[in-house]
Structure 1
Amino acid sequence: MTAPARPVTAHVITDDAEALAVAAGLAEDFRAGAAERDAGRRLPHAELDRLSASGLLGITVPRAYGGAQVRIATLAEVFRLLAAADGSLSQIPQSHVVYVGVLTRQGSAVQREFFFREVLAGRRFGNAQSEAGTKHVQDIRTRLTPAADGSYLLNGLKHYSTGALFADWIPVLARGRGDALEVAYVPGDAAGVRIVDDWDGMGQRTTASGTVQLTDVVVPADRVVPHHLTFEGPQLHGAIAQLLHAAIDTGMASGALAEAVSFVRTKSRPWFESGVESAADDPLLIQRFGELSVRVRAAQALLASAARTVDEAADGLSDDSAAEASVAVAAAKVVAAQAAVETGSALFEVAGTRAARDGLNLHRHWRDARTHTLHDPVRWKVQHIGRYVLNGTRPPRHGLL
């Protein structure tokens, strides 16, 4: 196998504590330019290069291949920290981590050796999963057609391809022999791959979640992974993927709350009827900040609890432990989504008219939260939680739960 041409080098993180420290430092730096990047839709090429160089993209690589193999609780906190700083940038590596996990579970020894070396060097995975115009999100029509020489031809059209524009490798979800679900790992600069930067969402503006066109892309057999095997037994693929989304929502909620606190302390005026000199002493604002803090703390607590449940399930995977993990993650995602949207909106309620000035771009918090929480409907997560609690029905095995 050959690698894409982009020369990269990356630090190799060795343990959980280092991963958290690196994430906290990067988040602090990324926060400073988040409003400007969003306002001008300046894509975060430089920031992603720093993320690659930091080693954070390699923290889930198994120790046997030179990675830190951090606990899922650590991974969730890394994403929460990044999302609190920038709700767009934090979304980009989510698919990267998910498809490192696909290789961990279903990749051959040769595939793991090659791709984990790529990841530890700082190369990035994007994604090409979703398709528009199909019956539903699981209706995948992109095809891997066997060729006479043992390779495949890949054809399809993908949308919402977060990270593809920045990627060295694009994992493509496709149907292979017998309609089996496969993942083809395709170089971003491969012949027949066209990445269109046509994402125009109201939020998460800088994720570049656009279109990937695949026309007769030649894929060697050793770049195809049998993803369908993931769902033939108890699995945590969906739980981990969804936990990262919950972490992003939780981070966006805490980021919006922090922005509101800073604004009210430094820029807001008290309401004249409050009888106080500072907006921060207004009893009604104090009450509302208390309520918002409870929402955010609840999201953080459920996120941490769900992550521990996933870690415990990974240590002894069974149908029961996988079900517990999926339900715990679903609960965390429901509360995190609610907290992110409410806090992003309440920022204006507590900060007042001045906060609505477009030049401040404080509305990015609500726009990012509202956009990201559309990723998959939490109403179905509530359904699965209810069925599990009331009737003991285990959640289905798929990548969205």
Structure 2
Amino acid sequence: MVLGRRAVPREPRLTLTSGRGGRLVNGRQGYATGVLVADRLAVRATHADTGEPLAVLVDTAHPGVVCGGDDGDTFGQRLAAGGSVEFDAVPVEDDAVLGPLSWDEDTLSPFSGLAAPTGRLVSAQICLGIAQGVLAEAREYTRAVHGPWPHTSPRDPYALTTYGELTVATLSAAALADQALEALDGGLARGEDLTDDECAEITVLAAAAEAAASRAAHDATARALDVVGARSASSAYGFDRFWRNARTHTLYDPVAHRLHEVGDYFLNGEHPPFTLPF
């Protein structure tokens, strides 16, 4: 049984070359969240000579970093400032090479591996914000309009049950995210003393939190509108933005991947793979 972290490539390879002028990154990345506003991007680049995958920080202010345009025009999460990005001979300082992302479990330190659960918990908070947001607005609408059907009210059993189920799911996901965040804080405090097993446990907790938050967001953005009724489709209320944002955000890393990691760890003790967060 292998109990290490393995790096899983998700993007076409960027290359890192070394020469007299220093290190350079070249290639194209299909999507990067925040690329239009970020000061630095953490990317995966393969060393041209050794084939070793490396985590690299790139300065987005360099003229060799060219952001895509229309490919970031999604039907949701428009404020993510994401899109494709081209790297044309972008220089990389020595201290901007964070470390290897090798398939060899002994190459990446457990402390460096905490980058993965950190990204998972950012994603979980986005999903929780979407779920909480749609529930808050749907609640105010239901209170004001008194339900979508004749002779209904905020005391309608169907509305109460639906809001109850969605509230329980969202609160449960939030509690799990808090637990994972507390574990992550503890791991960061341990620094280089963090062990492989501790890193794996934190990563699994973060994966579970992201999975729970993703499901809460999908359920809330769909079922809350059932309570609001047909008028929720009116653009005047903007309820559609919650569904669009949840749907778009979770497409980049489907919840099935997180559930697979949690199940493999629970059943087989397999450590989750290391992946750079989007």
* TM-score of the pair, normalised by structure 1: 0.60
Pick one of 75, 80, 85 that aligns with 1:207. Answer: 80
CA offsets, 1:246-285, max 9 Å, x none?
A: 12111211111111111111234453354xxxx3122221
Higher relative contact order (CA 8 A, sep 6+): 2
For residues 322 and 186 of structure 1, what CA distance do their matches in structure 2 show? 26
Confirm or deny that 1:197 pairs with 2:50.
no
What secondary structure does 2:176 align onto? helix
Q: Which deviates more, 249-258 or 389-398?
A: 389-398
Q: Report the counterpart of residue 121 of structure 2 in structure 1.
A: 243
1:25-64 map, 5 Å: none
Q: Greater strand percent: which structure? A: 2
Q: Report the counterpart of residue 50 of structure 2 in structure 1.
A: 178
For residues 205 and 184 of structure 1, what CA distance do their matches in structure 2 show? 26
For residues 172 and 392 of structure 1, what CA distance do their matches in structure 2 show? 29
CA offsets, 1:201-239, max 9 Å, x none?
A: 121022231121122233344443324389623232211
What secondary structure does 1:373 align onto? helix
Q: Report the counterpart of residue 272 of structure 1 in structure 2.
A: 150
Q: Report the counterpart of residue 336 of structure 1 in structure 2.
A: 213
Task: Report the identity percentage.
Answer: 35
Is there any run of 5+ residues in structure 2 with no aligned partner, and where?
Answer: 1-7
1:176-325 map, 5 Å: 176=47, 177-198=49-70, 199-228=72-101, 232-234=108-110, 235-269=113-147, 271-274=149-152, 279-316=153-190, 317-325=194-202
Q: Greater helix percent: which structure? A: 1
Q: Report the counterpart of residue 34 of structure 2 in structure 1.
A: 163
Is there any run of 5+ residues in structure 1 with no aligned partner, and where?
Answer: 1-135
Q: Report the counterpart of residue 242 of structure 2 in structure 1.
A: 365
1:378 offset after TM fit, Å?
1.9
Q: Report the counterpart of residue 19 of structure 2 in structure 1.
A: 147
Contact 2:28–2:84 (Cα < 8 Å) also in 1: yes
Contact 2:148–2:230 (Cα < 8 Å) also in 1: no
1:192 offset after TM fit, Å?
2.2
Q: Report the counterpart of residue 92 of structure 1 in structure 2.
A: none
1:291 offset after TM fit, Å?
1.0
* TM-score of the pair, normalised by structure 2: 0.84
Contact 1:295–1:339 (Cα < 8 Å) also in 2: yes
For residues 174 and 14 of structure 2, what CA distance do their matches in structure 1 show? 38
Letter in structure 2 aligned against 1:256: V
Contact 1:144–1:152 (Cα < 8 Å) also in 2: yes
> Structure 1 pair 139/205, CA: closer, same or farther in 2 (3 Å)?
closer
What secondary structure does 1:186 align onto? strand
